[in-house]
A and B are shown apart, each in its own frame.
Chain A
Amino acid sequence: MPVRTARQWFWLGSAALLALAGGVSLAVWDRAPRDASALFSLSLPDTSGQQQSLSQWRGKVVVINFWATWCAPCREEMPEFVRAQREFGPRGLQFVGIAVDEPDKVARFAKELDLNYPALIGGYGAVELSKTLGNDLSALPFTIVVDRAGTVARIQLGPFKPDKLRSIIGNLL
């Protein structure tokens, strides 16, 4: 087999660099509806069994995160959410977790993390809901950022890089 020409190495090298630069963000946001009314009309129980209507957070910048304790990448990004909630909560940011999970596991993890935002229980119905919002694979974590006007500003499949999350939140607050 002949030695690769310099030209071929150039093409392969460029391709590799571009692939790296492209990053591994998994936004699927061209698929999602723009209006978050369907989300705000949702009512789900929290870990103590109390029904919580998402409409109570209308007017805030709401970050709705679909997650589960059985999803390690989901758990790993949550400390950053706790930090952001603490820092930006006074300015109108509201994280809401919707767990595709069992209440006792969610409660245990919420306690470990000292969770400072609501952990609602969605069950597998929550997975179906996230599908209508652009989550074709029903995968987790799946996060929707809604602005104060109730418009979907960002959809994220996969972990949210902290600087990306903060930049999006910062622009909306």
Chain B
Amino acid sequence: MPTRRRGLLRRALVVTALTLMASASAQVNPLAPEKAFRFSARALDPHTVEARFSIADGYYLYRDKLHFAVEPAASGLTVPLLPNGKIKEDQFFGRVETYRGNLIVNLQLQATPPGQNVVVQAESQGCADLGICYPPNIQRVIVALPAAGSAPTPLDEAPKKQWFK
């Protein structure tokens, strides 16, 4: 490995170690729900919006608490098809289904004129493995629907950190 990369790796290891030590003496801070259950949406075509939850490691969402809405209401959102999650037996509620990692739901709009903006609203409720639960949380994003015949808009992603060039 070239010397420059080795130096970077060494520094990265030291920083990681120091961070771990610092966070051990401070309190463990659970993520804010918008970070634990990061919501984004983009148009796939004039009548389809891809809604996406990027769920942080160690966090999960409940399927039965997931609700989507699109404004204006005249957009004609049909009942979305939700993917299969993980099923577990809850002592109080019985069969419960949860999602982790990336959750993608396609929202079909029956009546939107092409080229319009819509507001996509997602309501979700989830918990962290470290032992807390959040109340239902609403997140909203604006999506520009393309005119007929356009390609899907690129996914709006957070910039990735890079240790190495």
Give me the interface of A with B, judged by CB distance under 8 Å. Answer: 1-2, 4, 8, 11-12, 14-16, 18-22, 24-28, 68-75, 100, 109, 112, 124, 127, 137-141, 157-159
Binary per-residue interface labels of chain B (104-139) against chain A in the complex, 1 for a CB within 8 Å, 0 otherwise: 000000000000000000000101001111110000
The reply to whether B127 and A73 form a contact with Cβ atoms under 8 Å apart is: yes
The reply to whether B130 and A158 form a contact with Cβ atoms under 8 Å apart is: yes
Contact of B9 among A1, A28, A159 (CB under 8 A): A1
The reply to whether B132 and A2 form a contact with Cβ atoms under 8 Å apart is: no
**Besides the contacts A71-B127, A72-B127, A140-B133, what 9 more A-B pairs have beta carbons closer than 8 Å?**
A4-B13, A11-B17, A14-B21, A15-B20, A18-B24, A73-B127, A73-B131, A75-B91, A100-B135
Chain A residues whose CB sits within 8 angstroms of the CB of B28 once the complex forms: 22, 24-26
In the assembly, what is the distance between CA of A46 and CA of B89, in Å?
Answer: 29
The reply to whether A158 and B23 form a contact with Cβ atoms under 8 Å apart is: no
Instruction: Report whether over half of chain B's contact residues are helix, strand or loop; otherwise say mixed.
Output: mixed
Chain A residues whose CB sits within 8 angstroms of the CB of B146 once the complex forms: none
Q: Is B153 an interface residue (CB 8 A)?
A: no
Which chain B residues numbered 64 to 94 have a C-beta less than 8 Å away from chain A? 65, 90-93
Chain B residues whose CB sits within 8 angstroms of the CB of A1 once the complex forms: 1, 6, 9
The reply to whether B92 and A25 form a contact with Cβ atoms under 8 Å apart is: no
The reply to whether B6 and A8 form a contact with Cβ atoms under 8 Å apart is: no
Chain B residues whose CB sits within 8 angstroms of the CB of A74 once the complex forms: 133
The reply to whether A12 and B134 form a contact with Cβ atoms under 8 Å apart is: no
| Size bracket, chain B contacts | 20 to 34
Give me the interface of B with A, judged by CB distance under 8 Å. Answer: 1, 6, 9-10, 13-14, 16-18, 20-21, 23-25, 27-30, 32-33, 62, 65, 90-93, 125, 127, 130-135
Smallest CB-CB separation from B6: which chain A residue? A2
Smallest CB-CB separation from B25: which chain A residue? A22
What's the minimum C-beta distance from A128 to chain B, rounded to whole angstroms? 10
The reply to whether A139 and B134 form a contact with Cβ atoms under 8 Å apart is: yes
In the assembly, what is the distance between CA of A27 and CA of B10, in Å?
Answer: 33
The reply to whether A69 and B132 form a contact with Cβ atoms under 8 Å apart is: no
Chain A residues whose CB sits within 8 angstroms of the CB of B20 once the complex forms: 15-16, 18-19
- Interface hub of B23, B65, B92, B130 (most chain A Cβ within 10 A): B92
In the assembly, what is the distance between CA of A159 and CA of B129, in Å?
Answer: 11
Chain A residues whose CB sits within 8 angstroms of the CB of B9 once the complex forms: 1
